[in-house]
Amino acid sequence: MSDTIALVDDDRNILTSLSVALQSEGFVTRLYSDGEAALKALLDNPPDLAVLDIKMPRMDGMELLRRLRERADFPVVFLTSKDEELDEALGLAMGADDYITKPFSQRLLIARIRAVLRRTEARSQPVGNVDDAQAAEIVRGRLRMDPARHRVSWDGHDVTLTVTEFLILDALAQRPGVVKSRNQLMDVAYQDDIYVDDRTIDSHIKRMRRKFRAVDANFKSIETLYGVGYRFAEE
């Protein structure tokens, strides 16, 4: 079955040209001209991936992503302008999986989309289709992670993480008590051609803590060692 890509941009020319390019590569596309129009549709019928422009009327891409992340975890790629480096960092911190700057090559964007989909699909393969190392659940005290199904629970309560958040938590939980620097966490969470700074990793950690504290107000297992990095403290 073909992957469905939702395109959200107020520029009709970009919507049309991207849709044609993606369809020629075998994707199914759904088009939305502003964030407000897209929000309900994307929540009611989630795509496999969404490409969001940041600068849009009525509801910009940042607000759309914030609202989507409250109820959905499908991957998101941001379109930004070259002078929006702060927006890029904020978008990644809020849960976007990748970004690309305008003007952009359609071939590059399609390559990025395929890379994010591969990374996402690798986390949701049935156990029978992955090797034992990938399929093995990680149990650390009250934390349970199922990499094959991209599922996380704390004390029996499901916690919904984005692909990037899952990769960071996985890196920490693999070796409880061992400190991972921000650079090490960036290496596992992002491709080599994507630059993020320390603030982005810090923001991901803050978001994860909020999600875990929504099911356990006393959650403290992701520890900060100031000036060094982070570690998972198994209870």
Here the CATH number for the domain that contains residue 12 is 3.40.50.2300
Predicted confidence (pLDDT) per residue in 43-95, tens digit: 999 999 999 998 888 888 889 998 998 888 898 998 877 555 545 566 666 67
Same domain, 107 and 144: no
Structure confidence at residue 213 (pLDDT): 94
Structure confidence at residue 19 (pLDDT): 95
Query: pTM of the entire structure?
Result: 0.57
Same domain, 111 and 142: no
The span from the CA of 232 to the CA of 178, in Å, is 7
In a domain, 207, yes or no: yes
State how many domains the chain has. 2
Same domain, 118 and 213: no
Structure confidence at residue 194 (pLDDT): 52
Could you count the other beta carbons within 10 Å of the beta carbon of residue 137? 12
In a domain, 130, yes or no: no
Structure confidence at residue 71 (pLDDT): 85
Same domain, 116 and 46: yes
For residues 82-110, give the mean pLDDT: 70
Given a cut of 70, is residue 208 above it in pLDDT? Answer: yes
Same domain, 148 and 221: yes
Structure confidence at residue 2 (pLDDT): 83
Assign residue 214 the CATH number of its domain. Answer: 1.10.10.10
In a domain, 217, yes or no: yes
CA count, 13 A, side-chain hemisphere, 56: 30
47 preceded by cis ω (within 30°)?
no
In a domain, 84, yes or no: yes
What counts of helices (H) and strands (E) characterise the chain? 9, 11
The span from the CA of 93 to the CA of 168, in Å, is 12
Confidence of residue 122 (pLDDT cuts 50, 70, 90): low
More reliable by pLDDT, 153 or 103? 153
Same domain, 109 and 153: no
Structure confidence at residue 192 (pLDDT): 52
Same domain, 117 and 198: no
Q: Which domain holds residue 225?
A: 138-232
Same domain, 158 and 190: yes
Given a cut of 50, is residue 132 above it in pLDDT? Answer: no
Structure confidence at residue 127 (pLDDT): 43
